[in-house]
Amino acid sequence: MRVFATFDDLRSAVGTEIGVSDWITVDQERIDRFAAATGDHQWIHVDPARATHGPYGGAIAHGFLTLALLAPMTQQVMRVSCARMAVNYGLGKVRFITPVPVGGRLRGSVILTSVTDIAGGVQAERTVVISLEGGQRPACVVESLVRYLA
């Protein structure tokens, strides 16, 4: 965990890798809970028997489940202690590059891309590369925007 005590400390880290999260296992139970929460019950995700005959040879995680894991990954890697609160401001580009099979393990590498002053704080852009264990290409690459308010 890298802790930034001031916004200037955060600014000084632009262009660097902040850290890499621990691995998160994406098991069928997690996929099923995500399907229940979102109403996305597509068979490629929730019907492992049918999915064995699909294009990936088995069930895969929802792309948006992979994206949702961005929050615990980035929270594990960095904290801005001078901020009274952090607000997810949105996303830039999001690319789902490699499907995540059931049982796949993911981790996020967080790179601080920019820090911009805003009223009451700063806005940070982070590029997060979500790697699939054993994969040759990332599962997902995300440009994440967060506002840290003083």
* Tokens matching residue 103: 């049982």
Q: Is residue 133 part of a domain?
A: yes
61 within 8 A of 121, measured Cβ to Cβ: no
What's the whole-number average pLDDT of the chain? 98
**pTM score:** 0.95
Total structural domains in the chain? 1
The answer to the question of residue 48 being in a domain is: no
Range of the domain at 145: 2-26+61-149
| pLDDT for 4 | 98
Judge whether 122 and 8 are in contact, CB under 8 Å. no
| Under-50 pLDDT residues of the chain | none
Write phi, then psi, for 95 (nearest 5 degrees). -130, 125
Query: At a CB cut-off of 8 Å and minimum separation 6, what does 114 contact?
Result: 14, 124, 125
Q: What is the pLDDT of residue 86?
A: 97
Residue 129 lies in a domain: yes
**Can you give the pLDDT at residue 81?**
98
Residue 94 lies in a domain: yes
Q: Is 40 part of a structural domain of the chain?
A: no
Burial category of 113 from C-beta neighbours within 10 Å (exposed 0-12, middle 13-18, buried 19 and up): middle
**Spatial CA neighbour of 122 closest among 92, 90, 87:** 87
Q: Is residue 67 part of a domain?
A: yes
Report residue 44 CA to chain centroid gap: 21
33 part of a folded domain: no
Answer yes or no: is 144 within a domain.
yes
Instruction: Write down the H helix ranges in 16-139.
Output: 28-38, 43-46, 48-51, 63-68, 70-77
Render pLDDT for 10-23 as a digit per residue (tens, 0 to 9): 999 999 999 999 99
Strands (E), the chain: 2-4, 17-20, 24-26, 78-80, 85-96, 104-118, 121-132, 140-149
Q: What is the CATH number of the domain that holds 120?
A: 3.10.129.10
Residues 6+ apart with CB under 8 A from 44: 51, 54, 55, 56, 59, 60
Give the pLDDT confidence score for residue 119 in this predicted structure: 97
